[in-house]
Amino acid sequence: MSDIKSLSADYFDSKSEEYTNDYYLNQQTHPKWARQKSIVSFVRKYLQSSNTKILDIGCGPGLLEEDLSNLSYKGIGMDISKEMIKLSKQRAQSKGFNESWEFVCGDCEDTRLEPESIDCVIASGVIEYMPEDNKMLEEVNRVLKVEGLFILNVTNVFGVSTSLNRLSHYLKGIPGVMRLADFVKIRLLESNTKAKRLSFIPRKHIPSAFIKNARRNGFELLDDVYQGFTLLPAPFDQIFNKLIGRKFIDLERLNNTPLRVLGASYLVCLTKKA
């Protein structure tokens, strides 16, 4: 495996439960929930029959599968992290969707699945941990049926909230900065979790360039949505929200304006061309 890919696999193996609690279970207003809701909306809109097979690569702890199973969708959850697969299997067993969803440890660039055997591929929070796009796009094209759906999220290089991610990554490497970040997060923001610093920097995309590359790999755009709007870059947006209240303004409405290109998350629904 390449460096960023292996580093991310190690990270999610070592932080599977902490990641799930911090970004999902303990934060019902986290942008990841809004993204998951939009994914489910795309599936319902464009995959109207539940008698289909879905592949969710980068399935994590199986939270999306739980929502899809409630709508009678079935499929395979795949993740490169063995620990995430353990969590997803446990969740499926406890929530009763273990018969409709299979969970396997696998590689999104080499799934080992049969050609044209999948009706819909979902990849949310995956491509930014790959060294480049084409291997994954080629593999998805291989396993997806003609006119099948490919729902994918990329981190927008123009997103306001994520614009300081690279700078903050390096600042956190300075002695003492992580203690300050912990103070801000726990004391000022009243969070239950400490600040984090990855050993790698996830990639970002220029949305228009990504769509052009997707077309070169045999996909056409059906639908899209920008999400994760903030007035200020992180972590200043969290401090601002704490001071004035999160419901001060509904920034997600910006998706319906020319300012939509400033959303941190770009979720697309593609279809495989004949």
**CATH number of the structural domain spanning residue 32:** 3.40.50.150
pLDDT of residue 31: 82
The answer on pLDDT for 88 being more than 80 is: yes
pTM given for the model = 0.91
Q: Which of 69-78, 170-179, 229-238, 256-265 has the lowest mean pLDDT?
A: 229-238
Number of domains the chain contains: 1
248 band by pLDDT with thresholds 50, 70 and 90:
low
Q: Is 37 exposed, middle or buried (0-12, 13-18, 19+ CB in 10 A)?
A: exposed
How far apart CA 161 and CA 66 sit, in angstroms, is 28
* Average of per-residue pLDDT values in the chain: 91
Residues of the domain holding 94: 3-272
Residues 48 and 71 sit within 8 Å (Cβ to Cβ): no
Helices 134-143 and 207-216: angle between axes, nearest 10 degrees: 50
- Give the distance, in angstroms, between the CA of residue 203 and the centroid of all CA atoms in the same chain: 12
